[in-house]
Structure 1
Amino acid sequence: MARFVVVPQWQGSGSDRAMRVATGAARIAEDLPRAATEHVEVPLEAGSALDTGVVRASSVLRVREALAATLAQGDGPAVTIGGDCGVELAAIEYAASLHPDLAVVWFDAHSDLNVPEESPSGAFHGMVLRSILGDGPPAFASRSAVSPARTVLAGVRSMDPGEEAFATSSGVAVLPGTEATAESVVAALRATGATSVYVHIDLDVLDPAAVTAVNHPEPFGLSVTQLLDAVKAVRAEFTLAGAGIMEFAPADDGSGSGSGSGSGSDADTGAGDDLTTILRLIGALKP
């Protein structure tokens, strides 16, 4: 895979440091091959809810259409670089339109299965997977929905009660925390019957000891080695229909790690280590 689409969307985030994920997308883009990298313009304004129950909905919907148009102009799968996880709606819609049997493995500390009525923040990045599955806020419901039975939540450590109930009733496979080994992820994907897979990676799936520059760290996550092994195992057995790497959140001024821990050169080193990890993940996603 040699196509990268950078989408510095921050409007889908529920963090008070949401702008940091836009900074993170720009930082990653600096290390990508220019000839193979496209950029999607993100509105400057926060946007309004448009009576959807989703904060900043107008801007998130604009980015959805812009990303969909960009992906449609290219050829083959892409690695989409966020920005917040809400970016993945258009990216997975595109992959599902080309691969009707698509499965999704969602490496994330959070399940992102909320709906506006139950969301504590109203932020779309906590609802995006529900929308990808064809449910969730009507304005965002996927135009090429993936079946819950072909969806694997890997490394999740934080689910609201409504999210847990939906996952159980709909048939979403859940591999919590460090149970998301290479073997268990591949086995869960095999059970879907799919031959092609979209790989979503929210960096907070990693343990806070392994990644510093995220806005929503959760304890007891995967190590870098565990995540890399799982990605490589998926890549070896399934057709990769696309991938996304989301929620890198270094400090806006370049002097912090994005996690609020540390300052000065120590924090800079943490963010630099995170970028090295991201580039290793991108390398694992290539053919």
Structure 2
Amino acid sequence: MKIYFPQWQGAGLGKDIESGAFAVLEYLKNPNFVQIPLSNISAGENGLQKFNINNYDAIYEQLQRFKQFLTSEKPNTTATIGGDCGLEIVPVSYLNAQYPNLGVIWFDAHADINKPCDSSSCNFHGMPLRTLLGEGEPNMDDLLFSTINSSQIHYVGLRDIDNAEKTRLERGGIYHPKKLNIPELVSTLQSKNIEHLYLHFDFDCLEPSNYDKTYYRVPDGLLIKDAEECIYELKSSFNVVGTSVLESITANVEELRPIEGIINVLMK
């Protein structure tokens, strides 16, 4: 199922995230994408913080809508245009309930595995993996269909890690190499008997000199060609049941040309 969910509230002010998601939707020109409505609760500059999470009420309300939608539609697969990374708690937990031992491939410059109390920004897009592990804010647990284990998480392009996140990565033995090694990633997944994958793709995993229309720009990222090669290899070696493209911020469709190969392979 193809889903358009331009959640921006998980990024705090979320500047240009919604318009960036809409540009991806415009680029694809695919009428099969179903939109999940966003909340009308005040957020951003007028948002409130609860449980050390900015814009908590708006995020909770619209993620509840997303969960209800998947509960009703019961898709076998999802492809989501977003939006900020916080939205991932719904489709990942949904597909993990359908495909036990789901491999989660996190293409991202950031670990997104903070507890709310450890986050310096209090923005939820830095917390989804910790939430999915069942170690986040307890009041958000009912948004989950299931929880995942540390062994299911595999990072690609990670290079900006908070101290508390580093501790969690090391404690959980979570796969987070400094450089992409595609054969090693594939063999690691196979050694865990993982057959099904979810591919989370935050465009800030990319090297800014290749693509810089992202919410954050972190040096020494993946080259576009290497990211594409990795995605194609994963899709040929495993059953990819869920994908996302997140946190591109350009409203100009023409500026998506450098990443059209990534968009096309993940959203087709």
Q: Give the TM-score normalised by structure 2.
A: 0.91
Which structure 2 residues correspond to residues 71-220 of structure 1 after superposition, within 5 A?
Answer: 71-72=70-71, 73-141=73-141, 142-176=144-178, 179-220=179-220
My pick for the range that moved more, 197-206 or 88-97, is 88-97
Q: Distance in 2 between matches of 1:86 and 1:196?
A: 22
Deviations, residues 23-51 of structure 1 (Å, cap 9, x unaligned): 1111111123443210011123215333x
Q: How big is the shift at 1:20?
A: 0.6
AA at the equivalent of 1:162: A
Q: How many percent identity over aligned positions? A: 26
Which structure 2 residues correspond to residues 44-83 of structure 1 after superposition, within 5 A?
Answer: 44=40, 45-46=42-43, 47-50=47-50, 52-72=51-71, 73-83=73-83
Q: Find out whether 1:237 has 2:228 as its counterpart.
A: no
Q: Distance in 1 between matches of 2:238 and 2:231?
A: 11
Q: Distance in 2 between matches of 1:74 and 1:143?
A: 12
Q: Find out whether 1:285 has 2:266 as its counterpart.
A: yes
Secondary structure of the 2:3 match is strand
My pick for the range that moved more, 135-144 or 97-106, is 135-144
Secondary structure of the 2:117 match is coil
AA at the equivalent of 1:164: K
1:32 corresponds to: 28
AA at the equivalent of 2:36: V
Q: Distance in 2 between matches of 1:130 and 1:89?
A: 10
Structure 1 residue corresponding to 2:19, chosen from 23, 29, 32: 23
- Do the aligned residues in 2 keep the contact of 1:183 with 1:230 (CA within 8 Å)? no
My pick for the range that moved more, 115-124 or 138-147, is 138-147
Aligned Cα RMSD in Å? 1.8
Deviations, residues 71-120 of structure 1 (Å, cap 9, x unaligned): 33153211111111011111111111111121101010000011122111
- Do the aligned residues in 1 keep the contact of 2:244 with 2:267 (CA within 8 Å)? no
Q: Distance in 2 between matches of 1:229 and 1:188?
A: 17
AA at the equivalent of 1:200: H
- Do the aligned residues in 2 keep the contact of 1:154 with 1:185 (CA within 8 Å)? no
Q: How big is the shift at 1:156?
A: 0.4
- Do the aligned residues in 1 keep the contact of 2:109 with 2:218 (CA within 8 Å)? yes
- Do the aligned residues in 1 keep the contact of 2:105 with 2:153 (CA within 8 Å)? yes
1:272 corresponds to: 254
User: CA 1:76/1:278 → structure 2, altered by over 3 Å: closer, same or farther?
Assistant: farther
**Structure with the larger RCO, 1 or 2 (CA within 8 Å, 6+ apart):** 2
AA at the equivalent of 1:279: E
Q: Where does structure 2 lack aligned partners over 5 or more consecutive residues?
A: none
Aligned length: 261
